[in-house]
């Protein structure tokens, strides 16, 4: 396979340039391309609006900082919470998982 040299210009901070040099010196070209391909596809999905995080991260995002009092309030106003979660685009199974986690938090004290 014929190897080609490749030169490009980027405006980077000193820290970013050190990090880039580390990657370029330690990774093979195929590993670099794999990482760039992954980053490009993820960026395209995020900007296109079809990158959906997993259910588990949605549940954690909604419940990880809840106090027991806040969790009890959410359970007492569950119909309003369902409306809010549906507006965010959550599916009913995801909302059910959120409710189970909120119930656990509400029972702690």
| CA–CA gap between residue 78 and residue 62 (Å, rounded) | 14
Mean pLDDT rounded to a whole number for the chain? 89
Q: Which of 47, 59, 55 lies closest to 104 in space, CA to CA? A: 59
Q: What is the pLDDT of residues 71-90, one digit of tens each?
A: 999 999 999 999 999 998 88
Which token pair is 16? 């970013």
- pLDDT exceeds cutoff 80 at 91: yes
The per-residue pLDDT for 53 is 64
Question: Taking the domains of the chain in order of start, what are their residue ranges?
Answer: 14-48, 55-107
The per-residue pLDDT for 55 is 59
The per-residue pLDDT for 56 is 64
Mapped onto helix, strand or coil, the DSSP state of residue 62 is: helix
Choice between 46 and 26, residue whose per-residue pLDDT is larger: 26
Q: Which own/partner pairs from 53-58 qualify as long-range (CB within 8 Å, at least 24 positions apart)?
A: 55/91, 55/93, 55/94, 55/97, 58/90, 58/94, 58/98
| CA–CA gap between residue 95 and residue 102 (Å, rounded) | 10
Q: Token pair 């029972």 is at which residue?
A: 107
The per-residue pLDDT for 16 is 95
């Amino acid at each position: 396979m014929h190897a080609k040299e490749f030169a490009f210009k980027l405006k980077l901070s000193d820290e970013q340039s050190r990090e880039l040099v580390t990657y370029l010196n330690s990774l093979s070209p195929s590993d670099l391309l794999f990482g760039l391909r992954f980053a490009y596809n993820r960026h395209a999905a995020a900007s296109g609006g079809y990158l959906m995080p997993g259910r588990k991260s949605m549940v954690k995002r909604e419940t990880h900082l809840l106090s027991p009092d806040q969790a009890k309030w959410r359970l007492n106003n569950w119909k309003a919470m369902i409306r809010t979660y549906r507006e965010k685009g959550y599916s009913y199974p995801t909302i059910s998982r959120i409710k189970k986690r909120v119930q656990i938090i509400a029972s702690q004290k």
